[in-house]
């Protein structure tokens, strides 16, 4: 059963703002997590705003149960104390079956809903979870005169959520996107890893034995998250919303973080979480297209002004499809260049 096309874009409460038909054009290479109950961390937010694309106040996992109220109040404080400009302000609220979610929404939206861009909702299992929050947000937007709809970003971190990922992506025009939650997802699926994202040394393929049956055989480590990221990217992109890689928990292994982020970027993701300051630069580097790639893509577009036909560039065949591939890269580079002067120079578009 689906809604009629006519009612899909109707506000869910009288007086709530009309749902957006297109997502705002917004660079979101990293969603930077802040624990808002810690005063020292709140004090750093003003300095973070110019460095990251999104500041997120985390109210869920990693916040101790007896600090949940302080985190919620701290988030309201940090939202009030700062001007975020074109940097996104998001909150990760507690999950729907927790004792905290209702207060998270009922306190944050009235207090700072006009500044809040996105609510990140954890442990989303199906479209019904989105429908509940969608309705509640519309009622609160109407009551509190909030003029810009607050968007919903789901974390994909349960086996049931992955099974229903396409329905979640299409559940509401309020859907902004989705992040992979590899830690909860591993637990929910019964995966045998204690890592937060990234590879596992035992997950791989052993090369066939050669003529010498006793010779050592090569072992190629594989990406544990490939299937889920691919499924999430298809669900999101076909629904016109944005896919993200989530957390990478080993702060000491910057190279592995970069490689995991890069796989996600190449597969279609637009950003990842930064849980530690060192991950901000990694995400910036990975989720901004490579200047050489941008230059080549610009060449393709120049050589095929109307996007049709076939040409050879540097020995490589180009046609209507590669023109579209090139446009994805050039369009992203333009958004990056508009925000980031370093990249503007390197792209020379």
Using CB under 5 A as the binding rule, whether residue 104 contacts Mg ion is answered as no
Using CB under 5 A as the binding rule, whether residue 125 contacts Mg ion is answered as no
Among residues 88, 243, 246, 289, the one that binds ligand GLV under rule CB under 6 A:
246
Among residues 35, 36, 149, 181, the one that binds Mg ion under rule CB under 5 A:
181
Among residues 184, 197, 229, 336, the one that binds Mg ion under rule CB under 5 A:
184
Q: Note the Cα 181 to chain centre separation in Å.
A: 10
CB 274 within 8 A of CB 207: no
Using CB under 6 A as the binding rule, whether residue 161 contacts ligand GLV is answered as no
Binding mask 163-182 for ligand GLV (x = CB under 6 A): ------------------xx
Q: What kind and span of H or E run contains 182?
A: helix 182-189
Proportion of the chain in helix, strand, coil states, percent, rounded to 5: 45, 15, 40
At its nearest, how many Å lie between Mg ion and the CB of residue 111?
A: 25
CB 292 within 8 A of CB 332: no
At its nearest, how many Å lie between Mg ion and the CB of residue 123?
A: 7
**Total residues in contact with Mg ion, by rule CB under 5 A:** 3
Cα-Cα-Cα-Cα dihedral sign, residues 173, 91, 49, 289: negative
Among residues 53, 157, 174, 243, the one that binds ligand GLV under rule CB under 6 A:
157
Q: What kind and span of H or E run contains 108?
A: helix 101-112
Using CB under 6 A as the binding rule, whether residue 155 contacts ligand GLV is answered as yes
Nearer to Mg ion, 77 or 279 (CB): 279
What whole-number distance in Å separates Cα of residue 14 and Cα of residue 220? 57
What whole-number distance in Å separates Cα of residue 260 and Cα of residue 196? 11
Interaction site with ligand GLV (CB under 6 A): 61, 155, 157, 181-184, 196, 246-247
Interaction site with Mg ion (CB under 5 A): 157, 181, 184
């Amino acid at each position: 059963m689906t809604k009629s096309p006519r009612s899909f874009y109707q506000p869910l409460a009288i007086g709530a703002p009309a749902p957006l038909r297109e997502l705002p054009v917004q660079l979101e290479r990293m969603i930077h997590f802040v624990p808002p109950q810690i005063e020292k961390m709140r004090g750093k937010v003003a300095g973070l705003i110019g460095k990251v694309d999104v500041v997120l106040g985390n109210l869920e996992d990693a916040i101790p149960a007896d600090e949940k109220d302080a985190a919620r109040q701290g988030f309201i404080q940090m939202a009030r104390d700062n001007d975020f400009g074109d940097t996104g302000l998001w909150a990760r609220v507690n999950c729907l079956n927790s004792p905290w979610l209702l207060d998270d929404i009922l306190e944050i939206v009235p207090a700072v809903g006009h500044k809040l861009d996105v609510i990140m909702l954890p442990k989303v299992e199906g479209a019904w979870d989105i429908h509940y929050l969608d309705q509640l947000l519309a009622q609160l937007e109407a009551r509190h005169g909030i003029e810009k709809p607050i968007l919903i970003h789901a974390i994909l971190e349960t086996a049931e959520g992955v099974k229903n990922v396409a329905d979640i992506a299409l559940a509401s025009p309020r859907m902004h996107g989705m992040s992979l939650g590899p830690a909860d997802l591993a637990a929910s699926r019964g995966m045998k890893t204690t890592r937060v994202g990234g590879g596992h040394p035992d997950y791989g393929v052993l090369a066939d034995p050669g003529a010498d049956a006793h010779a050592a055989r090569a072992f190629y480590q594989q990406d544990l998250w490939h299937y889920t990221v691919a499924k999430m990217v298809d669900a999101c992109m076909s629904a016109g919303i944005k896919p993200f890689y989530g957390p990478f928990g080993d702060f000491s292994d910057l190279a592995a973080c970069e490689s995991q982020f890069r796989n996600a970027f190449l597969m279609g993701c637009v950003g990842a979480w930064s849980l530690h300051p060192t991950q901000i630069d990694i995400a910036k580097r990975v989720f901004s297209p490579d200047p050489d790639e941008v230059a080549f893509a610009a060449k393709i577009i120049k050589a095929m002004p109307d996007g049709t036909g076939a040409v050879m560039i540097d020995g490589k065949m180009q046609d209507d499809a590669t023109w579209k591939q090139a446009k994805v890269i050039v369009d992203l580079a333009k958004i990056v260049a508009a925000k980031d002067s370093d990249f503007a120079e390197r792209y020379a578009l």
